[in-house]
Structure 1
Amino acid sequence: MFAEAADGCRIAYQLEEGAPGNLPLLLLAGQANNHHWWDPVRADFSLRTTITLDYRGTGASDRPDEIYSTPGFAEDAIAVLDALGLARVDVYGASMGGRVAQWLAILHPDRVRGLVLGCTSPGRSHGFERSQEIRRALSVRDQAERDAVLIDLMYTPDWVARHPGPYPVLGDATMPAYAKGRHLVASNNHDAWEGLETIQSPTLILHGTEDIFSPAANAQLLADRIPNAHAELIGGARHAYFHEYRETASPLVNNFLAEL
């Protein structure tokens, strides 16, 4: 299914029906990833209808070679909600998806009831950024080397040894190089600091204590900036806490949203 953004770009989205009576949940993936990011844990939220989308540049969505931004991705998500006739949803965004979710709650407060921000940051101007060493390691030309670095940033070695993959959080392999670059710039340029204090939605912030891809100090930084927010740190988890530590993370999300 497709929604049409304000500029005519087609945004692919996916709907999985859940039990009636609960507000739908919009799931927003990380940078340069499509909806498959959520495949390992989507069933954990089956008590409600879940909506995912392919960001422009990924999956089945159009791939214009133009400037992308996290506020722009948020507007694409609004186009999806409009296409579905959904006036209000809960939103769970992880990594860059958490950056997009921030803008959804800032720009469209009437559309977001509960907000969950996972392994994310307010942006470069105030957030804690990954080290230059990590940036250099991720800039190598060899795809296998980059994937190895990403896997280590996402998961603990013990878990990887027991779960040889595939890993749905390593990026959309079908993306053209220009689209990957556009996503990187959009995420790097994210800066929602001034708007965070206007967020009206009750907010849960989740982060792994061992996350160095988006340093864990960002969790409390966001919790202190956003009204009616609190942070939960998941001990031992790296960036893909929601996958490796799903038995901890998913109930935290479900319980938080059930109490709204």
Structure 2
Amino acid sequence: MAVGQEFTRAQDGTSLAFQVAGAGRPLVLLAGQANNHRWWDGAREDFEGAHRTITTDYRGTGASGKPDQPCSTEDFAEDVIAVLDALGIDSADVYGTSMGGRSAQWLAINHPDRVRRLVLGCTSPGGPHAVERDAAVRRALAQPDRDAAERALLELMYSPEWLASHDGPRTVLGDPDMPVHARHHLAASNGHNAWDRLDEICSPTLVLHGADDRMTPASNAELLAQRIPNAEAHVLPGLRHAYFHENRPVASKLVGDFLAR
């Protein structure tokens, strides 16, 4: 189904690009750090039969504005509110993965009336309670050989079996056109800490995670599920950070069934 692109403005005036496809109950899909809406290519289609899917280009990515200023996961959540306001949507289901899951936490905390159901994928509560990636992962991603760093990122996203049988596209590896001056996403993601307020989330919540995720260790799923009232968690065996691509049939069905309740 065709994806249409529109624009609105954030509270600070930054231009925000967003994309809409499908029909039905609104579903906001939030991508990972330093990625634009194409993170969801090959997955959003699973929801378009029952949902009007809404993606965004984070500030700094895609067709959105690229200001050289610090930002936070709370700021990204407020940008989503600006998009919902532009569309005249009072309440939506929200599915956030990785940094998008961090932003989704703030959406549900600060705007409980705007989030009907919440899905948090491959993400963490942040702060001292979170289980962080190990030093070897950090070194692999920071190595100066960019081809080697990209290969390391791919291996964090997908299992060896999946990589051996799929040549691409690689839409979860970051926005290649994101300018250096706008690369504040890492600081935003690292600065996330919603732990003390997670118990305020009142939206029914599903937590999903790949069991073999080293980018954001799977033990964070249990932390979120314990901290958010009445949340349920599913840890998917054999999957890594991009579980929602590698095993679409299982992951999308879990989300679709949860949202249909």
Question: The TM-score by the shorter chain falls in which range?
Answer: over 0.9
> C-alpha deviations, 1:215-245, integer Å up to 9, x for none?
0000010000000201001110000000001
Matches within 5 A, 1:108-257: 108-180=111-183, 182-257=184-259
Contact kept in structure 2, 1:201 and 1:228, CA below 8 Å: no
Q: Once the 2 structures are TM-superposed, how far is the Cα of residue 101 of structure 1 from its aligned partner?
A: 0.3
Q: Give structure 2 stretches of 5+ with no counterpart.
A: 1-5
Range that drifts further, 42-51 or 141-150: 141-150
Cα distance in structure 1, aligned partners of 2:181 and 2:14 = 17
Cα distance in structure 2, aligned partners of 1:157 and 1:196 = 35
Cα distance in structure 2, aligned partners of 1:235 and 1:130 = 18
SS in 1 for 2:77: helix
RMSD: 0.8
Q: Stretches of 4+ moved more than 3 A in 1?
A: none
% identical aligned pairs: 60
Cα distance in structure 2, aligned partners of 1:195 and 1:83 = 27
Other-structure match for 1:36: 38
1:7 equivalent among 12, 24, 27: 12
Q: Once the 2 structures are TM-superposed, how far is the Cα of residue 3 of structure 1 from its aligned partner?
A: 1.2
Letter in 2 for 1:156: S
Q: Once the 2 structures are TM-superposed, how far is the Cα of residue 141 of structure 1 from its aligned partner?
A: 2.3
Matches within 5 A, 1:56-95: 56-95=59-98
Q: Once the 2 structures are TM-superposed, how far is the Cα of residue 81 of structure 1 from its aligned partner?
A: 0.3
SS in 2 for 1:125: helix
Q: Once the 2 structures are TM-superposed, how far is the Cα of residue 144 of structure 1 from its aligned partner?
A: 1.2
Letter in 1 for 2:12: D
Letter in 2 for 1:132: A
SS in 2 for 1:210: coil
Q: Once the 2 structures are TM-superposed, how far is the Cα of residue 136 of structure 1 from its aligned partner?
A: 1.2
Cα distance in structure 2, aligned partners of 1:148 and 1:126 = 29
> C-alpha deviations, 1:58-85, integer Å up to 9, x for none?
0000000001100000000100000000
> C-alpha deviations, 1:113-171, integer Å up to 9, x for none?
00000000000321100011111111122321111000000000111110011211000
Q: Give structure 1 stretches of 5+ with no counterpart.
A: none
TM-score by length of 2: 0.96
Q: Once the 2 structures are TM-superposed, how far is the Cα of residue 178 of structure 1 from its aligned partner?
A: 2.7
Q: Once the 2 structures are TM-superposed, how far is the Cα of residue 103 of structure 1 from its aligned partner?
A: 0.4
